[in-house]
Structure 1
Amino acid sequence: MKRIKYVVALILTLALLGGLGYSVIYGLGEDKSGSLSSIDLGLDLAGGVSITYEVVGDETPSKEDMSDTIYKLQQRVDQYSTESQVYQEGSNRINIEIPGVSDANTILEELGQPGNLYFIAQTDANGNENYHYSSGYSVDADGNIVMDENPQFGYILDKTLEELQAEGSIVLSGEDVAASQAVYQQDSYGAQEPVVSLEFTDNGAKAFADATTKAFANGESIGIYYDGEFISVPNVQAAITDGKAVITGMSSYEAADNLASMIRIGGLKLQLNELRSNVVGAQLGSDAIRTSLYAAAVGFALIAIFMIVMFRLLGFSATLALAFYTGFMVFLLSAFEMTLTLPGIAGIILSIGMAVDANVLVFSRIREEITAGKDVDAARKNGYNKALSSILDGNITTLIVAAVLWFLGTGSIKGFAETLILGIILSMFTALVVTRFITSVLYGIGLQNPVLYGKAKKLNKIDFVGKRKIFYGISCAILVAGVIAMSINAGAGKGAFNYSLDFVGGTSTTVTFDKAYELAELESGAAADIKAAAGINELQIQTVTGTNQVIFKSTTLDVAQREAVENVLESKYNVTADNIAAETISGVISSEMRASAIEALVIALILMLIYIWIRFKDIKFGAAAIVALAHDALMVIVSYAFTRLAVGSTFIAVVLTIIGYSINDTIVTFDRIRENQHLATGRKELEDLVNGSVTQTITRSLFTSATTFFTVLALYIFGVADIKAFALPLMVGVICGTYSSICIASPIWYDFKTSFKNFISKKAEKAENV
């Protein structure tokens, strides 16, 4: 009867997993839209445009002005996409994101410099016209109609805005408008007509009264000028002194509503300057989603095979739990309405690999218990109890890194941190709850033979401490080689590192051609055409191995130059706009990116040192961990020098991710040292303790590294250019992190421990002699 209960539990578990998978893919509602399809996609996946503006001036703008500006900009960009977002960054910056738009360059041009709305008098104080109406043609002396050479239509300014401002012809600006809306009013025949109703601020009311008094006396108009063109030029039919006015003559209510909207949202109180803009083709995003799904599927399959082969029934339990983890992750991304970005996908797939780590910790402990003679049931319970401390410490330290990324990062880095945080929390839940439940169910239905669970193989103790100088020497040799590579590159004029636009500023254009080109072909063909179209002299070319993607880097290109580049690519190389992504970053953003990278690294290291010190009650553990982490960070940095990968925003995420991953690995070993520390009474015993503890955990370290490496390798094989740039140094970091956890961290702790004791002994001996 009891076994039947577990059989029913297993059936329900599999049914729940199937239902979760169905809801993720197909959904359960009437629209049959699964969680996967309902996840909000960021610009890099959906395509579109993003802009970062900075308030002009040295003074920090008030919260009210920033809030008002954001509100009006939001109204302004809503016309392009209902998914548009406008939000504040820091104290004086505003980010605009407009996903899913098809003509991003046009939007950039239309947005221009926000906040330019003016009411302009028709004539100046001397009676000279400030603007005139142009029909595009003129009548010559013979009475013939002659088209103008460069015909312009509508009202045209005769002076610059600066000249108009200086002479006082700009009577009002947008900020003087308190309200603007479309309404109906009765005309002279009693019919309802659409009009635009305006209300002015106190200062605006006075200025408008003076302007309309003059205009009415002279039979003139007051033109409303918005972002480079007149949107309305109404004649003044009376002096308006009460601060309220209406604009008549609207062709329809829709026309009145559009005019009212432009007046309302054109009155920004702050002048903004564009710092950064990014245009992404939708095709690049769809390719990223497709290839990332391939990577996730391949990574999942490799992990499942590895876990089942190595841990047998326990590995099967972990595979089912990992399936639950993946489904929960997609469901929560949809439920929390988190915006998924390209680095976010990388964070999810990376967390899939790291999610196995807690299971490996538990399973390794269970097999040790079985080897020690415990029955399977007792081994399962002891395994979870003994592994709990390491799981919590390892995941909390990784959470610290992810939290630092989230608080200090922006844009894509913040998106990566969000999915990593969610993944870490979810991985602990699935390992400690879901896997444990599935294992209990399988045990309950009768799968209790120890052969199904395996035993830990007894390894000969390895002398890591005795060989530590060799390990230190290997690391130093690699670092020295890296410094030499940096010096050679710098001497050749290439720079020590291949800094991306995130660090130096400029425009990067990523193009997906219909075939792969050799570098020589690109230099003589596309690159030459791009330089001619944009009117630039220098252009860097970076091909993406295994794809048809090419990245062109140049000085900052304006909208006209970007369009010229896009046109030449479309006309000569059959590249559609969907396959072109352009990003522009100013030097201000670049210098701040470098500073934030250092700040994030230092803060993460300090917080982890404090946590380890508190948990292990010995600062030498924390100091040794920091040395090992510094080692890993330097190794990753050196890999950038060797490979010449672009050092940009993903560089920060890579370094901090490796720190989080490596500290997780190191803490497991330190936890075993702490557990065995009571066995050491002298220097020799301490050396044996370290060697024994590292040997006991080496299998677990290698298994965890293998599963993480599988997922990152899948990312590199199937991913698009940005994913490859993230995955390659991450693979280097996984290898270095494993090496440092086994060969560097524990020997360093041993050196700190013995050196400190020797220092105390010498001090005591010297005191006695005195």
Structure 2
Amino acid sequence: MKNRTKSTVLFILCVLVIGFLAYSGVYGVTAGGYRLKPFSEVINRGLDLQGGVSVLEEIQADKVDQETMSKVTELLSMRVNKLGVSETVVTREGQKRIRIEIPGKYDAKEVIDGVAKTGELKFVGPDKQTILTGKDVKKATAYVDSQDGKPTISLELNDAGTRKFADATQKFIGQPITITMDEDELTSPTVQAHITNGKAVITGSKSLDEAKRQANIINSGALPVTVKPVEVKTIGASLGANALPLSILAGKVGIAIVMIFMILYYRIPGVIASIALVLYIYIVLLAFASVNVTLTLSGIAGFLLTVGMAVDASILIFERMKEELKSGKSIKAAIDSGFHRAMSSVLDANITTIIAGVVLYGLGSGSVKGFALTLIIGVALSMFTAITVTRWLIKLAAGMGWFKHKWSIGTFGVHDFRRGVK
């Protein structure tokens, strides 16, 4: 009786917590001046869910190395961010193409004109006069200083730049020289010494990644890079707005059908699997929000596929439990043995799917990457809910005495429990 009471209390608490999480995920919760936002407000939506412009830019050169691609990507990303639009996506495609997706913008010409021109890099003195341009820069490299461990950018100038910089550093000692890209300030280091050899270091970056980004932009301003749009797509606001509610409706219907099937076929284990599925959906959406996933139509398809796979793991486990009960084992023994013996099949199915997702993410582009990313996250988390959450809830249900009757487990066909239910 004591064990049954404990199991009942824990089970009710679990259901209440999962219910609260589900409610907060759908509607949000406000308490004590703090608001827990619903997932509809925190998960980024892709171009196909809210409309916008997609531009595929191509570098006009026969051969493009990875360093050049990195520089051009940084430059284009900086230009896109100047448009003031959040959730923009700038990704590489192939050897010399870069995909730019800008949700909420519908003027393709404005986007193309804003990102396709060659960058204008300037070193501006405190007197607002231009000291150097991108043509005067030979090379910029980011590294971590071995003496103080701080991120640093080394700057190397050509002959013309060396002469101009020597005059400027002599004139502006103790004053800042601002480095700008298209009038946007990149960094503003203070002149510490008179530099005559054309080699300088820039400190003050918050991290090595920031220093690398700044070095790439400085280098890109010195390169005569030409990019040309080879594909332009515009998705209207109304089309994007209609896609999201239809996708949500499809998701609700699909999840509801899965839950109804599980409950009708597996009875109480099906109910428990449905409760675990609600928690799984919450955890997956939380992961999407945490890692800043941009959700697209293909991403929603991948997410719904993982919902089916999460239930598939439960089906494997439940069927194994039924086989153990048929062999005459007690409920407790059948649960432990069912989870243990089904584990190899569950791991095999999920790990092979994750491998396929990794390959798709590595080789694919655009919507394929979105599908692969949601698939990988979903499958990985489905193993957690199937192996831990479902198992614990099943054990609590057994402790409450829910499996005393044949109908509570589901259909067994022509076989009977024998002495399985105890």
> Same fold by TM (over 0.5)?
yes
1:23 aligns with 2:24: yes
Greater RCO, 1 or 2 (C-alpha within 8 Å, sep 6+): 2
Supply the distance in 1 between the matched residues of 2:135 and 2:366 (Cα, whole angstroms).
40
- In the alignment, what sits opposite 1:73? 76
1:260 aligns with 2:183: yes
1:279 aligns with 2:282: no
Contact 1:369 1:379 in 2 (8 A): yes
Supply the distance in 2 between the matched residues of 1:304 and 1:61 (Cα, whole angstroms).
51
C-alpha deviation, 1:458, in angstroms: 3.9
The SS at the match of 1:86 is strand
- In the alignment, what sits opposite 2:247? 292
Contact 2:266 2:411 in 1 (8 A): no
Go from structure 1 to structure 2 and tell me whether the alpha carbon gap of 1:387 and 1:458 turns closer, same or farther (over 3 Å shift): farther
Contact 2:55 2:112 in 1 (8 A): no
The SS at the match of 2:403 is coil
Supply the distance in 2 between the matched residues of 1:282 and 1:433 (Cα, whole angstroms).
42
- In the alignment, what sits opposite 1:199? 132
Go from structure 1 to structure 2 and tell me whether the alpha carbon gap of 1:184 and 1:44 turns closer, same or farther (over 3 Å shift): same
The one-letter code of the counterpart of 2:81 is D
Contact 2:76 2:115 in 1 (8 A): no
- In the alignment, what sits opposite 1:322? 277
Supply the distance in 2 between the matched residues of 1:87 and 1:316 (Cα, whole angstroms).
43
The one-letter code of the counterpart of 1:359 is S
Equivalent residue for 2:164, pick from 239, 243, 246: 243
Equivalent residue for 1:106, pick from 106, 109, 112: 109
Supply the distance in 2 between the matched residues of 1:202 and 1:295 (Cα, whole angstroms).
55
- In the alignment, what sits opposite 1:13? 14
Contact 1:202 1:243 in 2 (8 A): no
What is the total number of aligned residue pairs between the two structures? 343
Contact 1:376 1:450 in 2 (8 A): no
Deviations 1:411-454 (A, max 9, x none): 10011011111111122211111111111111111213142113
- In the alignment, what sits opposite 1:438? 393
Equivalent residue for 1:35, pick from 39, 43, 58: 39
- In the alignment, what sits opposite 2:412? 456
- In the alignment, what sits opposite 1:84? 88
Superposition pairs of residues 691-710 of structure 1, within 5 angstroms: none
C-alpha deviation, 1:406, in angstroms: 1.3
Contact 1:25 1:35 in 2 (8 A): yes
C-alpha deviation, 1:291, in angstroms: 1.1
The one-letter code of the counterpart of 2:51 is G
- In the alignment, what sits opposite 2:293? 338
Go from structure 1 to structure 2 and tell me whether the alpha carbon gap of 1:388 and 1:449 turns closer, same or farther (over 3 Å shift): same
Supply the distance in 2 between the matched residues of 1:202 and 1:281 (Cα, whole angstroms).
41
* Alignment gaps of 5+ in structure 1: 118-173, 186-194, 206-239, 247-256, 460-770
Go from structure 1 to structure 2 and tell me whether the alpha carbon gap of 1:323 and 1:98 turns closer, same or farther (over 3 Å shift): same
C-alpha deviation, 1:409, in angstroms: 0.7
1:396 aligns with 2:329: no
Go from structure 1 to structure 2 and tell me whether the alpha carbon gap of 1:260 and 1:376 turns closer, same or farther (over 3 Å shift): closer
The one-letter code of the counterpart of 1:99 is P
Equivalent residue for 2:257, pick from 283, 302, 308: 302
The SS at the match of 2:304 is helix
Contact 1:351 1:423 in 2 (8 A): yes
Go from structure 1 to structure 2 and tell me whether the alpha carbon gap of 1:106 and 1:201 turns closer, same or farther (over 3 Å shift): closer
- In the alignment, what sits opposite 1:59? 63
* Alignment gaps of 5+ in structure 2: 139-160, 169-179, 186-216, 416-422
The SS at the match of 1:356 is helix
Contact 1:88 1:94 in 2 (8 A): yes
- In the alignment, what sits opposite 1:46? 50
Supply the distance in 1 between the matched residues of 2:90 and 2:12 (Cα, whole angstroms).
48
- In the alignment, what sits opposite 2:171? none
The one-letter code of the counterpart of 1:417 is A
Equivalent residue for 1:413, pick from 348, 357, 368: 368
Go from structure 1 to structure 2 and tell me whether the alpha carbon gap of 1:61 and 1:401 turns closer, same or farther (over 3 Å shift): closer
- Using structure 1 for the length normalisation, give the TM-score: 0.41
- In the alignment, what sits opposite 2:194? none
Deviations 1:66-103 (A, max 9, x none): 333233222222221243343434442322222222x3
The SS at the match of 1:449 is coil
The one-letter code of the counterpart of 2:74 is Y
The one-letter code of the counterpart of 2:377 is L
Deviations 1:585-626 (A, max 9, x none): xxxxxxxxxxxxxxxxxxxxxxxxxxxxxxxxxxxxxxxxxx
- In the alignment, what sits opposite 2:199? none
Deviations 1:476-522 (A, max 9, x none): xxxxxxxxxxxxxxxxxxxxxxxxxxxxxxxxxxxxxxxxxxxxxxx
C-alpha deviation, 1:25, in angstroms: 2.4
Equivalent residue for 2:99, pick from 69, 76, 95: 95
The SS at the match of 2:233 is strand
Higher helix share: 1
